[in-house]
Amino acid sequence: MCGIAGLIHFDGSPVDPDLLRRLAAALAPRGPDEQTFWIDPDRPTVGLAFARLSILDRQGGRQPMADPARPGRRVVFNGEIYNHRELRRDLQSRGHKFASDHSDTEVLLPLYDERGPDLLHDLRGMFAFAIYDGPAARLFLARDRLGQKPLYWAATPRLFAFASELKALRLVPGLDRELDLAALDLYLQLGYIPSPRTIFRGIQKLSPASRLTVPLLHPSPLRGEGRVRVSLFHPSPSGEGGPQGPGEGLTPTTSLAPETWWSVPPPSSVNAHPADLPALLLDSVSSRLEADVPLGFFLSGGLDSSLVLALARRAAPDRQLRTFSMSFPDLPVAQPPSAGNYDESSSAALMARHVRADHTRLEIAPAALAELLPALVATFDEPFADSSAIPTWLLSQAVRRHVTVALSGDGGDELFAGYDRYHAVRLAAALDRAPLFRLAAWAAGRGLPRGTDLKNWRSRLRRFTDVLDRPPLQRYARWVSPFHEPDPAELYGPLLRSVTDPDAAVAYLAEHLSSGPGSLEDTVAALDARTYLPEDVLTKVDRASMAHGLEVRSPLLDHRLFEAVYPLSAAEKLGPRRQPKWLLRNLARDLLPPEILARPKMGFGVSISAWLAGPQSPWLRRRLSDGPLAASGLIAPDTLTRYVAAHIARQADHGPRLYSLLVLDEFLRNNAIALPAANR
């Protein structure tokens, strides 16, 4: 696990070594063990920066790594390649030499030499990397299939830059850091900013399973090559191009466009799962146990994390396994109504005893939200409204004191249909086939009072019925949004309202729909895998863990497992009684205690609504009444004041919405950002 960054200067100017040092320093939380940089001596217009968290081959895995056979090639790599030993053996059989013993990074350059960009299909892992190919005068960027590791990039007529995090790119002079109002609108509708957008107009995310090739458009005169015009950019109609010099009058075009190299398998109507699923699950876990540093397990006591632990014990019968669970004595924990006061830590302890693990229960007393919020917002670099980032951040901070690598159960809900919303989708689809019943349900729901707790049955039923008169995709967009009220745009101020689209989230989701013979549940599950999983769940886990230099590995996100399970129908995953994760429970039946198999889904979050209506309410009122958000013109201050008052008085539950606005306010408070009159 590491942080990577790099620069290409198209105008012929050399890369500033001090800037590369600062890029590496900005990524130091991701790579606390070492920060380095490299500038091509033959083409000083290109530089790479690297911050290392040493996991494998701590001596031989230093970067930027050179290809011994072709010194003009270098790689900076973030992630893990779990099949690197197999790849190494194959490459050695074809004559490739290696300098290190077992660095997974080292297989990339010889594999690229043989396969070019298609090397990605040979890799099994989580990764984001850049290969600088000096002889071919290009830079090659790539991101893993499901988007576990991040990568940002930006291009102007004079430079190209990339980095693992926005905080590094914001150090690069000349990039457009004006607020992207369309991205902000998506944030307020979804709770996150989806790829390829970022909060800044001039910076993009490389989407999951995407790759990008960037020609070095200004070859070095030292190699006898003449200066060339920046062909990736067309002359601007207005002639605007910044200061005089090479590239004057040029603006970016779509010529520099990433391409998708893998896609989530489409849903199917097949109702028979492959016989090798148990073997795939076991191999997914065992391949993630390699590390030259202390390794442990996040253990909630739920189905997913317990199964990962049980499979690790089967793969390594004699290995010492370390597990970590947590409790928040002073933090209201979000629980579904059916869970009551279920003691999650006792379930984790039970599972740890079941596999003879060395278990640690971490009791974490968090600081007030006023103290946590600045650190969280700085960690995520742009607004991110999933409040479960709070416990994830705190858990990662505590676990890092004991281990450097942790395995988790992330991906189980998306892969094996574990979310309650799949039931809502099925029920709504049934009502669609009986329009009179649907109209009656919608009318009856309108008569229900709105609950003061989003988790209680009345609120959940009202949220369900509120959107029965809308098409399926609009329903789904509303159910996954932190804005649970019917008219979220009523909060928008004139600046935001004038340029945004009330159906922006629906349009974004529509881009990720796939056609196939599957049911509506299958379609929604595929949407979760293409949108919510990479943009929310995996973003949360990566940023919260890497802020503390902790590597998190997720065996249930192995792409071979995804390719085997995802085409299965919802009926196969849910079983005859439509039980969440029925298939996974069957696969785990011989590995887990009955108490774990029977546990209801708990989720992993905090009751942000209770927190903001209770001890944090005075701070909430002050923060949103006189902060930069209230003065920005982005929101309607009167509406915001009304929401705060209603929430504190417990007349309505605006907790997720208010948290998303607190995050935005904190972001504006700590970042000097130009607010446009409208997006151009």
pTM over 0.85: yes
Tracing tokens 């529509």 back to the chain, one arrives at 510
Tell me which fold the domain 2-175+210-260 belongs to: Glutamine Phosphoribosylpyrophosphate, subunit 1, domain 1 (3.60.20)
Q: What is the pLDDT of residue 679?
A: 44
Encoding tokens for residue 231?
């062909």
Query: 3-state class of 205 per DSSP?
Result: strand
State the pLDDT at residue 127. 98
pLDDT at position 102: 78
Residue-level pLDDT at 250: 34
The whole-number pLDDT of residue 252 equals 38
- Beta bridge partner(s), residue 66: 74
Say what the pLDDT of residue 654 is.
Answer: 87
What residue ranges of the chain have pLDDT lower than 70? 1, 56-61, 217-254, 267-273, 329-343, 366, 447-458, 483-489, 515-517, 602-605, 677-680
Residue 226 has what pLDDT?
33
Sheet strands side by side (includes 295-298): 358-363, 322-327, 295-298, 405-407, 551-553
pLDDT at res. 235:
33
Three-state SS across 38-61?
A: EECCCCCCEEEEEEECCCCCCCCC
CATH 3.40.50.620-classified regions of the chain: 277-330+345-364+390-415+523-597
For residue 266, what are the contacts with CB-CB under 8 A and spacing of at least 6?
514, 515, 516, 518, 526, 567
Element (H, E) at 5: strand 2-9
CA 673 to chain centre: 23
User: Where in the chain are all domains bearing CATH 3.60.20.10?
Assistant: 2-175+210-260
Give me the DSSP letters along 88-145: HHHHHHTT---SSSS-SGGGHHHHHHHHGGGGGGG--EEEEEEEEETTTTEEEEEE-S
Count CB-CB contacts under 10 A for residue 159.
21
pLDDT in tens, 23-82: 999 999 998 888 999 999 999 999 999 998 777 656 666 789 998 888 899 999 999 999
pLDDT at residue 333, as a whole number: 56
Q: Which CATH number fits domain 277-330+345-364+390-415+523-597: 3.40.50.620, 3.90.228.20, 3.40.50.11810, 3.30.830.10?
A: 3.40.50.620
